[in-house]
């Protein structure tokens, strides 16, 4: 079966007064129907920009899609007009963004905002839409849905607003739901509820999900496949257990190792990745993590490593590395 989404050699740049920002560099991957892909990375890794550019949500200019194809159900999204993209966004691909405080319109009722894509894409009447809105609010676990639907965003707590955002994201039964840092602004207890809700929704409606976050813990619990991005490139990707337990890229390894893991100061010292995030205005040559990588070789600085299957792991586990992380770790006696 053809994958639901196939990204081929996507490269995105921004022309800014400070120079060209190479935000996404030659990113390729595919996503099967029903799969949950967790994309991990820090600011500037290209994780959000690549998702937004797939559906024409970056401002052009300054943004510019340099090259690539994004096949969604076999159709190249990058070749579509804005009018055609209107039909894709919200209907076939749903979105949930980070900040539920600013993503909702404060002067419209919740009902109006959830109904908007339904009326637009399916031409539902006001009363049909109302029924569906109440259904959706119940689905995302908002009690007393019929009454709550007529309220305004300020009458909802942060967690409840994020549930509303998810209701909007899934309102048209999209084939793909893209959530960008959707729980980052929430308290951990509320985040836990939202993550439970997403797992539950996946069981009920089987949506394919791309979950973009910087939190390794969130990905560990939610994703089937994890994809680690850095400096606009995919550094490693694979089944979540393989990547977490047997990382093959030094950045993935460093990220996992720098977390406290229940350790205590005085007993253990946190491993710290040296250096600073890359300057994206520099021409992307070589492995973007090389300047911070204790295992980097001369080749890493001059030639970009391809994302290839790793040896001795499960199928689909790929890493971009010229060095052999396992051998390096064994040699230095450092354990992840």
Scanning residues 272 to 301, which ones bind other proteins (CB under 8 A)? 272-274, 276-277, 292
Nearer to other proteins (CB atom), residue 230 or residue 323: 230
Which residue in 86, 122, 152, 244 binds other proteins (CB under 8 A)? Answer: 244
Q: How far apart are CA 196 and CA 188, in angstroms?
A: 12
Q: How far apart are CA 124 and CA 130, in angstroms?
A: 9
Nearer to other proteins (CB atom), residue 165 or residue 250: 250
Main-chain phi, psi angles of 268, to 5 degrees: -125, 155
Stretch in the footprint of other proteins (CB under 8 A) among 76-84, 134-142, 264-272, 298-306: 264-272
Confirm or reject binding of residue 336 to other proteins (CB under 8 A).
no
Q: How far apart are CA 323 and CA 316, in angstroms?
A: 19
Which residue in 269, 312, 315, 333 binds other proteins (CB under 8 A)? Answer: 269
Residue 183, burial from CB neighbour count under 10 angstroms (0-12, 13-18, 19+): buried
* CB contact at 8 A, 110 and 149: yes
Which residue in 42, 135, 155, 298 binds other proteins (CB under 8 A)? Answer: 42
Instruction: Name beta bridge partners: 69.
Output: 8
* CB contact at 8 A, 67 and 8: no
Site size toward other proteins, by CB under 8 A: 44
String marking each residue 122-151 x if it binds other proteins according to CB under 8 A: ------------------------------
Torsion (CA) 123, 127, 130, 132 in degrees, nearest 10: -60
Which residue in 20, 35, 120, 158 binds other proteins (CB under 8 A)? Answer: 158
Residues at the site binding other proteins, with contacts judged by CB under 8 A: 42-43, 158, 187-193, 195-196, 214-218, 220-221, 240-241, 244-245, 251, 254-256, 258-265, 269-274, 276-277, 292
């Amino acid at each position: 079966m053809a994958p639901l989404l196939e990204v081929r050699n996507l490269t995105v740049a921004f022309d800014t007064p400070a120079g060209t920002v190479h935000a996404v560099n030659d990113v390729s991957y595919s996503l099967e129907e029903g799969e949950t892909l967790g994309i991990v990375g820090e600011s500037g890794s290209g994780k959000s920009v690549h998702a937004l550019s797939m559906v024409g949500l970056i401002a052009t200019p300054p943004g510019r899609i340099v090259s690539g194809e994004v096949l969604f159900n076999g159709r190249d999204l990058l070749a579509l007009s804005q009018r055609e993209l209107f039909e894709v966004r919200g209907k076939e691909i749903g979105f949930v963004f980070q900040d539920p405080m600013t993503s909702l319109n404060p002067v419209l009722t919740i009902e109006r905002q959830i109904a908007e894509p339904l009326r637009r894409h399916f031409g539902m009447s006001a009363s049909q839409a109302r029924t569906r809105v109440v259904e959706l609010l119940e689905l995302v676990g908002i009690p007393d849905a019929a009454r709550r639907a007529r309220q305004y965003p300020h009458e909802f707590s942060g967690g409840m607003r994020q549930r509303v955002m998810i209701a909007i994201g899934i309102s048209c039964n999209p084939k793909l739901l893209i959530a960008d840092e959707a729980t980052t602004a929430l308290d951990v207890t509320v985040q836990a509820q939202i993550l439970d809700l997403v797992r539950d929704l996946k069981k009920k409606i089987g949506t394919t999900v791309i979950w973009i976050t910087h939190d390794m813990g969130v990905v560990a619990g939610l994703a089937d496949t994890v994809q680690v991005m850095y400096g606009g490139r995919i550094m490693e990707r694979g089944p979540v257990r393989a990547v977490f337990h047997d990382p093959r890229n030094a950045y993935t390894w460093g990220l996992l190792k720098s977390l406290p893991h229940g350790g205590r100061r005085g007993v253990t010292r946190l491993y710290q990745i040296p250096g600073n995030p890359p300057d994206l205005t520099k021409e992307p040559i070589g492995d973007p993590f090389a300047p911070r990588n204790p295992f980097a070789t001369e080749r890493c600085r001059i030639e970009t490593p391809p994302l290839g299957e790793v040896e001795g792991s499960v199928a689909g586990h790929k890493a971009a590395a010229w060095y052999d992380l396992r051998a390096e770790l064994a040699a230095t006696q450092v354990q992840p």
